[in-house]
A and B are shown apart, each in its own frame.
Chain A
Amino acid sequence: EAGVVQSPRYKIIEKKQPVAFWCNPISGHNTLYWYLQNLGQGPELLIRYENEEAVDDSQLPKDRFSAERLKGVDSTLKIQPAELGDSAVYLCASSPGSGVSYNEQFFGPGTRLTVL
């Protein structure tokens, strides 16, 4: 069974440029998460989808960040424009079922973003 796929694995951009990350969750997983992981920190939730609906985007900085999961399968996270402080690892995870916090989350390898 394929795991959570993320691309690109690494991205280097200059500040004020746009950037997009893509995630394909495990087949059949209804719930998809985007996390931000700063160096030396645990993952922090940016947005959670149940199917195509964003059910929790309270931590997403909406002035520059956007996300979509149009068909309830793969998802894209975008930053426009990027700032120096956005340098971090962006993790995508998925889980079966929806709306419950006892489900195991399966993580992708992440995208390491460096903003110069």
Chain B
Amino acid sequence: AQSVTQPDIHITVSEGASLELRCNYSYGATPYLFWYVQSPGQGLQLLLKYFSGDTLVQGIKGFEAEFKRSQSSFNLRKPSVHWSDAAEYFCAVGSTSGTYKYIFGTGTRLKVLA
């Protein structure tokens, strides 16, 4: 069955420090992979997505993610975090077979210290 796991519920980093948010998935093949960000009181916004090709994907707001097939992972990274990055981050997995299926992880809440 298709599933996605975000092992870290909360992460705290200092402003200017690097960031890595983990995402692991379970799927029979390579799925479509997404990272979304949700600021307080807002809907989700797409940061980046992976379909195929280059395993390092660049997104908006300076974020990038790397797909590692051997580890079934799609971790989100940012070299230098800004205070405005404090939010909740969701990894999502979409099916690549004929049946539509799209599952979100439980999210990682990021806190940024000044």
Q: List the interface of chain A (C-beta within 8 A of B).
A: 4, 40-45, 48, 55-56, 91, 93, 99-102, 104-110
Contacts and interface: CB of A to CB of B under 8 A. Distances in A.
Category for how many chain B residues contact A: 20 to 34
B100 A104 contact: no
A107 B32 contact: no
Please indicate which of the listed interface residues B43, B51, B90, B94 has the most CB atoms of chain A within 10 Å of its own CB: B43
B45 interface: yes
Interface of B: 9, 32, 34, 36, 41-46, 49, 51, 90, 92, 94-96, 100-107
A105 B96 CA distance: 16
24 contacts: A4-B43, A40-B9, A40-B106, A40-B107, A41-B107, A42-B104, A42-B105, A42-B107, A43-B104, A45-B102, A56-B100, A91-B44, A93-B43, A101-B32, A101-B94, A101-B96, A101-B100, A101-B101, A102-B49, A102-B96, A105-B44, A109-B41, A109-B43, A110-B43
Contacts of A107: 36, 43-45
A42 B32 contact: no
A48 B100 contact: yes
Contacts of A102: 32, 49, 51, 94, 96
A110 B41 CA distance: 8
Contacts of B96: 101-102
A105 B104 CA distance: 12
